[in-house]
Structure formats: C-alpha cells, structure tokens
C-alpha cells in the first residue's frame, strides 16, 4: 500500500521444498524485503523522496521475533541467507516488521479461501479509498 492505494501483490507457489513453516515463511519474508527495496529504489529514480521507513506485516510471530530481536540466533542453517537479509533490513531501519493476525490480514484475502462474511471488513482496505491520495498526511 502506498498513500492508501494497493500497488503490489504477490501470490505464488513457494519455490523451496521447506518441510517447516519457519523456513518457508523466512524465504517469503526475504522476497517481501527485496520487493520493498526495489520499490524504494524505483521511487528514488523517479524523484520521490522516501521519508521514514516502510512497514512489513506478517502473521508468523516466530519469524517476526527472530528478525526483529538483535539477540535472536538462527538454528536452521538452510534459511541463513533469508534470515540475515531480513535482519539486516530491520536493523538498518529500512523497514519495520509488525505482527498482524491472520484473520485481519488483507493479503490473506487472495491467498486463502474465505467466506464473504469473513473478509467483507477487509475489502475496503484494498478496493475502496475515499478521497484523494495526494491529500494523505505524512
């Protein structure tokens, strides 16, 4: 989301054969970090100044805590590159990683099966924006 407008969404089959959710979630988190870095660089090329940090949300508390706490250590070596890439971005204050409950996560609308009543409150976040995005406060 940028200025209240959804600009990017990625949903794909995981490219790794991780047997544990922790490892595959870290790979997905690294993909998100790379997309944020790419978008920030593209905006800079277009002359847009980036103020503050970006926000990344996830519904896996273990991944969020591991990447946000400096004292966290990696116990699964097969996700080492993803782990360190995400930790580096968080430590550099490029982005803030926050936990969001799966039932409140608008990204889950397109990646899981939901009934209409379950997601109706999340749809306005993605589909309906009232007002001009240029009037957004900083």
Q: Is the pLDDT of residue 13 over 70?
A: no
Asked if the structure places residue 81 within a domain, the reply is yes
Asked if the structure places residue 126 within a domain, the reply is yes
Asked if the structure places residue 3 within a domain, the reply is no
Q: Is the pLDDT of residue 6 over 60?
A: yes
Q: How confident is the model at residue 135 (pLDDT cuts 50, 70, 90)?
A: low
Which is higher by pLDDT, 107 or 58? 58
- Residue by residue, DSSP assigns the chain as -BTTB---------SS--SSHHHHHHHHHHHHHHHHHHHHHHHHHTT----S-EEEEES-HHHHHHHH-TT-----GGGHHHHHHHHHHHHTTSEEEEE--GGG-GGGGTTS---HHHHTTTHHHHH---S-GGG---
Q: How confident is the model at residue 15 (pLDDT cuts 50, 70, 90)?
A: low
Asked if the structure places residue 13 within a domain, the reply is no
Q: How confident is the model at residue 76 (pLDDT cuts 50, 70, 90)?
A: low
pLDDT in tens, 29-52: 888 889 989 998 999 999 988 888
Asked if the structure places residue 2 within a domain, the reply is no
- Which pLDDT score, from 0 to 100, does residue 27 have? 82
Work out the mean pLDDT of the chain and round it to a whole number: 76
- Which pLDDT score, from 0 to 100, does residue 47 have? 92
| Total domains, the chain | 1
Asked if the structure places residue 4 within a domain, the reply is no
Q: Is the pLDDT of residue 95 over 80?
A: yes
């Amino acid at each position: 989301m940028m200025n209240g407008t959804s600009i990017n969404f990625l949903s794909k089959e995981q490219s790794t054969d991780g047997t544990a959710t922790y490892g595959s979630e870290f790979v997905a988190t690294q993909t998100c970090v790379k997309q944020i870095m790419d978008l920030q660089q593209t905006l800079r090329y277009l002359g847009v100044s980036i103020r503050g940090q970006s926000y990344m949300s996830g519904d896996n508390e273990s991944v969020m805590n591991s990447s946000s706490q400096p004292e966290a250590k990696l116990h699964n070596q097969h996700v080492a590159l993803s782990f360190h890439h995400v930790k580096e971005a968080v430590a550099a204050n490029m982005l803030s990683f926050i936990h969001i409950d799966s039932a409140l996560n608008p990204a889950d609308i397109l990646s899981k099966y939901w009934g209409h009543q379950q997601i109706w409150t999340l749809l306005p976040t993605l589909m309906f924006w009232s007002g001009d995005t240029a009037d957004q406060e900083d």
